[in-house]
């Protein structure tokens, strides 16, 4: 396997760029979610969209795990190549496979909930935003921790 020399500062910069891109997407989703709650939209209409999103994410993760070729922006592809080399191909594949299985299980569970549960048309409450906001904050903390752990001698 060909070893590539990585500049840790460049990798940190790319990971920060990806973090900004992901935060912009999360902000858009957050604003749409808040608008949906303010408009009085029911959960029954929102859950199928979430399920489709999870199934697409699962397919993307499975593709990356099976082929070893990451999908996404050039920035994401470079970061994935860095992670793959630093963690080792086997460890990287196990981690991405575990992520794909976990996301797939969440997709199956959400699909089952949609099919088997009877939802009324009551609107979502404002408190429904807290899990989204909490996961967003947790994601940012985790990413900043991983960015700061990239050593200058890696």
Q: How confident is the model at residue 4 (pLDDT cuts 50, 70, 90)?
A: confident
Which pLDDT score, from 0 to 100, does residue 1 have? Answer: 47
Could you give the percent of the chain with pLDDT greater than 90?
55
Q: What pLDDT is attached to residue 152?
A: 63
Kindly list the domain boundaries of the chain, sorted by start residue: 8-118+127-148
pLDDT in tens, 139-154: 999 999 999 988 765 4
Whether residue 24 is predicted with pLDDT greater than 60 in this model: the reply is: yes
Global confidence as pTM:
0.81
Q: Who wins on pLDDT, 114 or 121?
A: 114
Query: What's the confidence (pLDDT) of residue 135?
Result: 92
Q: What is the pLDDT of residues 71-109, one digit of tens each?
A: 888 998 999 889 888 889 999 999 999 999 999 999 999
* pLDDT number for residue 153: 53
Residue 16 clears pLDDT 70, i.e. is over it: yes
Q: What integer is the mean pLDDT of 108-133?
A: 88
Q: Which uninterrupted H or E stretch holds 82?
A: helix 74-87
CA distances from 49 to 13, 44, 106, 119, 146 (A): 33, 10, 14, 15, 30
């Amino acid at each position: 396997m060909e070893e590539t020399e990585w500049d840790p500062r460049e990798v940190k910069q790319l990971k920060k760029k990806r973090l900004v891109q992901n935060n912009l997407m999360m902000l858009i989703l957050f604003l749409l979610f808040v608008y949906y709650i303010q408009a009085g939209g029911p959960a029954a209409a929102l859950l199928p969209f979430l399920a489709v999103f999870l199934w697409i994410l699962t397919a993307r993760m499975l593709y990356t795990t099976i082929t070893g070729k990451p999908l996404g922006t050039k920035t994401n592809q470079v970061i994935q190549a860095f992670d793959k080399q630093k963690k080792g191909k086997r460890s990287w594949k196990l981690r991405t496979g575990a992520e794909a299985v976990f996301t797939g299980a969440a997709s199956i569970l959400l699909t089952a909930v949609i099919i088997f549960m009877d939802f009324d048309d009551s609107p979502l409450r404002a408190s429904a935003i807290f899990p989204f906001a909490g996961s967003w904050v947790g994601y940012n903390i985790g990413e900043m921790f991983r960015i700061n752990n990239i050593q200058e001698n890696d």
